[in-house]
Amino acid sequence: MSNKVYLVDDEPDLRRAIERLLRAEGFKVESHGSALEFLARLPAEADGCVVMDLAMPGLDGLEAQERLVAASTRWPVVFLTGRGDIRSSVRAMKAGAVDFLTKPVKAEELIASVGLGLARVREVADLRARYAQLTPREREVMEHVIAGRLNKVIAAELGTTEQTIKVHRSRVMEKLGIRSVAALVTAAQRLGVSPAGGEAD
């Protein structure tokens, strides 16, 4: 799984060329002619790497990236553009882009970047699947646990008892396949889950 590339470019000729290149490398490719079209058909969970142009009619590549970031979806994005400038590349990298390549692109560079993006997705794929199994309450408790709060404090804040928190907490650990708070904290960071109400000291 997870060898899928979402190609977003408004030029049909270039799409075809890149598609061919990526398919020859064994990637599955899904092409979109505009960022809006891509975002509209966006899978709920990141299951591949995005390869996107910068300048496109409708929604800009950087704007599309911002939306992905804002939705905390953690899609890996590789930019591939012909009229890029330093300012754009810096903005893209700040926003967490995997790479920022210029046309004409060397095949090996594109493949390497896509591979890196896919590797990032795979790293958290299993964890995401596990996290999806958590109930809303369990996620809530998790956010408090990774903030370093004691069970009884969490209980007070959520208006329940310590016993209840213990149950939720143990289910969180069980479902995520994790056995220590330390591992839970790092898992949460990989998932983009933030501690509730700031960190405790």
Partner DNA sequence: TTGACCGTTGCACCTTGGTGCAATGACTCA
Partner DNA sequence: TGAGTCATTGCACCAAGGTGCAACGGTCAA
Find the shortest distance in angstroms from Cβ 53 to its own copies.
14
Please report, in angstroms and rounded to a whole number, the separation of the first and last CA atoms in the chain: 40
CB count, 10 Å around CB of 4? 17
Q: Which stretch binds its own copies (CB under 8 A): 33-41, 63-71, 82-90, 123-131?
A: 82-90
Kindly tell me which residue out of 14, 69, 156, 185 binds its own copies, with binding defined by CB under 8 A. 185
Find the shortest distance in angstroms from Cβ 71 to DNA.
22
What SS3 state is found at 104?
A: coil
Find the shortest distance in angstroms from Cβ 147 to DNA.
11
Rounded to whole angstroms, how far apart are CA atoms 68 and 63? 9
Residue 197 interacts with its own copies (CB under 8 A): yes or no: no
CB count, 10 Å around CB of 179? 10
Q: Residue 8 or 187: which CB sits closer to DNA?
A: 187
Choose the contact partner of 170 out of DNA, its own copies, none; CB within 5 to 8 A by kind.
DNA
Rounded to whole angstroms, how far apart are CA atoms 86 and 62? 13
